[in-house]
Amino acid sequence: MNAVPHDFASRDPLPANQETAVVIGGGIVGVCCALYLQRGGYAVTLIDPEAPGNSTAKWSCGQMAVSEIIPLSKPGILMKIPGWLMDQTGPLALRPSALPGIIPWFMRFLMSARHAKIVEIAQSMATLTQDVYADYAPLLDACDDKSLMGERPILELFDDPAALDRERPHLELRESLGFRSQQLNGQEIGDLEPALAGKFSHGLLFPEWRSVNDTMGFIAALTGSFIAQGGVRIRTEASRIDEANGLATGVTLANGERVQARHVVVAAGTGARRFFDALGVSVPLAGIAGYQAVVRDPGVEIRHSIIYADGGFCFTPMTRGLQIGGTIEFAGEGAAPNFRRADIILAKAKRVLPEMRTSQVEYGVGYRPFLPDTKPVIDRSRRLRNVLMAFGHGQLGLTLGATTGRLIADMVAGRTTKQNLAPFSAYRF
């Protein structure tokens, strides 16, 4: 894996006719926006206070979840939520202190639980996920490391046939939109994953899904490619979007320095909220904590990224260890992480893999930028017409990073986008 690249804060003088763009947010969505703008001939500055790769998507299961198009509000989830909220060891937790602030979000969330709405959301999301690999291809081709994306499909495992039966309506909806799955029995699961032989008799294989070999390394390598091609990455916060005469003129950094640009892209995940007044939007964007544990030298081989549906977490083998995660928490804005959540998923993983060594474990948390209908915002500000918005991807930031980058670059250039972006408007709320 390539070393994490250094940040650069200056560039050579630009050609007089080269257009400039600033991207706020250096996570997977932001760096993909920067790369696609760069491919379009723009001189791009990327602004983020963290080291490359140290972002929300680092603490994810690393999956290209191309058929994960059913909203979080699907009926099966809604039936489980009351029990999960009563049991703080479950896959979803709610801190009492977060309840007052999250009620308006939950009300909108429940409005997305009607069958017709679920179908509508899935249809819209499928238009984005159908292009995931084609959109990543040119970005990955430009990277030195050609092994960033894995080749193996993803498995989902269930404790009993009833759990699999409850998933069938969602599988049928996915299939109607062109996404396949294959049912697995115990023998097939054991053949694919010898470490799990005899432990599960019911599963699914998603042949179109893949996982990256390391979430941090994946983002860092894309960032390194951006810099190697002349991009600038400034490691600091953007404090405000500057404007004049109804247009953005650039960005002011935390130290007071100004970066001028003809175009601005806000791709800062939950950090996008600080710019909502300038953008003229009111978006119910919530940061939902997702906890992960990385087990170095686990002493057990897991070959695929595996979703353990009834356990509410997944295993993903990565170059830096076996990453185990998926538990989420509504903690409230500004709340400190509760790494007891990571302890819980590690203990559950040990029950599945009792031989796993856990002497070397790193915990982490990523704040997933979720909107109540589980769809991202990919739109243009009506207040500042040269500012584009790309945030709210929830658990699909890694999956949709490159597709979002292509769409943003098309919008900046004034081209008609391949996908209809009306379902992803910032003004739909």
262 and 394 share a domain? yes
CA distance 108 to 285: 11
CA distance 331 to 243: 34
Say what the pLDDT of residue 84 is: 62
Domain containing 190 equals 154-203
- Phi/psi of residue 259, nearest 5 degrees: -115, 110
CA distance 126 to 115: 16
119 and 222 share a domain? yes
290, part of any domain: no
139, part of any domain: yes
SS3 (DSSP) at 142: coil
Select from 267, 276, 241 the least CA-distant residue to 34.
267
Where do we find the tokens 């904590």? 289
| Domain final position from 203, 224, 243 | 203
190 and 256 share a domain? no
417 and 397 share a domain? yes
Select from 349, 318, 92 the least CA-distant residue to 199.
349
32 and 166 share a domain? no
**Tens place of pLDDT per residue across the chain (429 aa):** 333 333 544 444 445 568 999 999 999 999 999 999 999 999 999 999 999 999 999 999 999 999 999 998 876 666 766 666 666 666 777 887 787 888 899 889 988 888 999 999 999 999 999 999 999 999 999 999 999 999 999 999 999 999 999 889 999 999 999 999 999 999 999 999 999 999 999 999 999 999 999 999 999 999 999 999 999 999 999 999 999 999 999 999 999 999 999 999 999 999 999 999 999 999 999 999 999 999 999 999 999 999 998 888 899 999 999 999 977 788 877 888 888 888 988 999 999 999 999 999 999 999 999 999 999 999 999 999 999 999 999 999 999 999 999 999 999 999 999 999 999 999 999
103, part of any domain: no
222 and 257 share a domain? yes
Contacts of 90 (CB under 8 A, 6+ apart): 83, 84, 312
185 and 258 share a domain? no
Task: Specify the pTM.
Answer: 0.93
Contacts of 405 (CB under 8 A, 6+ apart): 29, 32, 33, 34, 35, 36, 37, 135, 139, 390
CATH code, domain carrying 234:
3.50.50.60
| Overall domain count for the chain | 2
Say what the pLDDT of residue 14 is: 44
295, part of any domain: no
253-261 — which CB contacts under 8 Å span 24+ positions?
253/47, 254/49, 259/22, 259/45, 259/47, 259/234, 260/20, 261/20, 261/21, 261/22, 261/45
Say what the pLDDT of residue 86 is: 66
377 and 427 share a domain? yes
